[in-house]
């Protein structure tokens, strides 16, 4: 069976289609899926279905360009998170809606125009949240009738809605063609569960139940993130994903800077920024990002552009204030899709509150990495499982 796409990665790449021997496990219920849409959808579906199996909670992921901007399970939102994610504190949210709000909230700037994957039947609670967000489409195992009607009205009726056959089992061998040459490999069907979190190599050998949960979330997220990749997780969600970097330390820095922003957005100074009432949510996300970037914010102040966003001039959040606030967070989990070649990754992770680490191990400098963890009281396990994804 074949499904014709609008075009490939770019408009000049025609014709484009997806096909399979037999029935496709996806049904496009509304809109028209694109090439990158389906790559995001199928990677996202695998991620959320694994998260649900591993944790027992409904799960959601926000994908952009074949990597997750965020992934999460359906834990309730605190009042702080509701405010941080621009959710009315009086709205009643289903667990699935909470999962998506968390996934998108991990990195709201990157999630703008995302493709959504959820593990469970889409309900009205989630549909009402999605109605107000800029998104390209969604994949789910099913949809409530009212929820489907709400989503089908997005993008003037062109919103892509895909139904996934939960019973589908892919072939054990994957194939792809690059430059006319066919590659084959066994599908990465390794199971990620708590059995991977038992080989402690550090003096600290304690993982709390929440740490185990967050490490599983980070590892499963990495399984569907373009490599090299590092993921920080906390409170049932990713808080920083560093994807597609050639250097491990750049992954750790990129993900760490996103984790820092996630923590800083919870600071009362940021939560209470005096936004003008006519500033939409995406612009608020951009303004917060600028406000927390010292150099960019000084340029905004120097040029008097703060009035574009705020009713009054906010006081700068100094480096000292940022450090003091970030020092409150010391329970972050981190996973890496391959070993850490140098201890600089541990030093950078510790600065962002990392206390628990899961990585494959196997570097010639493992002892240096372990020593750095011991110096900071970090608990680290070697999983023995590399998770490269390309």
Beta-bridge partners for 161: 30, 138
- Average pLDDT of the residues in 376-380: 98
Kindly state the tokens that stand for 221: 């997220």
Helix (H) or strand (E) holding 342: none
| CA gap 122, 138 in Å, rounded | 10
| CA gap 254, 246 in Å, rounded | 12
Share of the chain above pLDDT 70, in %: 100
pLDDT, residue 302, reads 74
> What does the pLDDT look like over 45-75, one tens digit per residue?
999 999 999 999 999 999 999 999 999 999 9
- Average pLDDT of the residues in 248-262: 97
- Model confidence at 303, pLDDT cuts 50, 70, 90, reads confident
| CA gap 160, 273 in Å, rounded | 35
| Dihedral angle sign, alpha carbons of residues 348, 352, 356, 359 | negative
- Whether 102 and 75 have beta carbons less than 8 Å apart is answered as yes
- Average pLDDT of the residues in 172-190: 96
- Model confidence at 294, pLDDT cuts 50, 70, 90, reads confident
> Cα angle vertex 232, ends 226, 235, to 5°?
130
Of 163, 160, 159, whose CA–CA distance to 144 is shortest? Answer: 163
pLDDT, residue 269, reads 95
Q: Which residues are catalytic?
A: 64-65, 228, 390
DSSP one-letter code for 133: S
Tell me what the pLDDT averaged over the chain comes to: 96
- Model confidence at 90, pLDDT cuts 50, 70, 90, reads confident
For the chain, give the number of residues. Answer: 390
SS (H, E, C) 194-210: HHHHCCECCCCCCCCHH
Of 117, 110, 116, 78, whose CA–CA distance to 285 is shortest? Answer: 110
* Res. 98: pLDDT tops 80: yes
> DSSP states of 78-127 as a string?
PHHHHHHTT--TT----HHHHHHHHHHHTTHHHHTTEEEEESS-B-HHHH
- Average pLDDT of the residues in 94-117: 97
| CA gap 114, 43 in Å, rounded | 13
Cut 0.85: pTM above it: yes
| CA gap 224, 390 in Å, rounded | 9
| CA gap 321, 325 in Å, rounded | 6
pLDDT, residue 97, reads 98
> What does the pLDDT look like over 185-221, one tens digit per residue?
999 999 999 999 999 999 999 999 999 999 999 999 9
Beta-carbon contacts of 342 under 8 Å, excluding residues fewer than 6 positions away, are 248, 249, 365, 368, 369
- Model confidence at 369, pLDDT cuts 50, 70, 90, reads very high
Beta-carbon contacts of 312 under 8 Å, excluding residues fewer than 6 positions away, are 274
Helix (H) or strand (E) holding 264: helix 248-264
């Amino acid at each position: 069976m074949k499904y014709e796409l609008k075009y490939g990665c770019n408009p000049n790449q025609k014709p484009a289609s997806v096909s399979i021997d037999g029935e496709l496990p996806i049904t496009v219920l509304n809109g028209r899926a694109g090439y990158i849409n389906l790559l995001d959808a199928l990677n996202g579906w695998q991620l959320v279905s694994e998260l649900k199996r591993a944790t027992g909670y409904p799960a959601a992921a926000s994908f952009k360009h074949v990597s997750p901007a965020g992934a999460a399970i359906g834990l309730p939102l605190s009042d702080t998170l509701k405010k941080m994610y621009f959710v009315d504190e009086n709205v009643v949210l289903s667990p699935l809606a909470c999962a998506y709000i968390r996934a998108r909230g991990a990195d709201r700037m990157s999630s703008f125009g995302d493709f959504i994957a959820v593990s469970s039947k889409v309900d009205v609670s989630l549909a009402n949240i999605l109605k107000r967000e800029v998104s390209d489409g969604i994949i789910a195992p099913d949809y409530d009738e009212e929820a489907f009607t709400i989503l089908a009205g997005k993008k003037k009726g062109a919103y892509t809605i895909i139904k996934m056959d939960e019973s589908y089992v892919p072939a054990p061998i994957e194939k792809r063609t690059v430059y006319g040459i066919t590659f084959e490999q066994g599908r990465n069907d390794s199971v990620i569960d708590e059995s991977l979190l038992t080989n402690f190599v550090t003096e600290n050998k304690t993982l709390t139940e929440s740490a185990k949960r967050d490490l599983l979330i980070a590892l499963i997220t990495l399984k569907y993130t373009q490599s090299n990749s590092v993921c920080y997780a906390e409170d049932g969600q990713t808080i920083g994903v560093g994807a597609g970097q050639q250097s491990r330390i750049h992954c750790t820095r990129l993900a760490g800077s996103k984790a820092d922003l996630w923590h800083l957005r919870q600071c009362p100074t940021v939560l209470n920024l005096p936004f003008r009432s006519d500033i939409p949510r995406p612009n608020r996300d951009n303004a917060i990002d600028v406000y927390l970037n010292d150099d960019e914010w000084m340029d905004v102040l120097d040029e008097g552009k703060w009035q574009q966003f705020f009713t009054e001039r906010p006081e700068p959040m100094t480096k000292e204030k940022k450090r003091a606030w970030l020092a409150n967070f010391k329970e972050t989990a981190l996973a890496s899709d391959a070993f850490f070649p140098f201890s600089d990754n541990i030093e950078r992770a510790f600065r962002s509150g990392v206390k628990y680490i899961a990585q494959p191990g196997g570097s010639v400098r493992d002892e240096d990495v372990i020593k750095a963890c011991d110096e900071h009281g970090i608990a680290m396990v070697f999983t023995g499982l590399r998770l490269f994804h390309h």
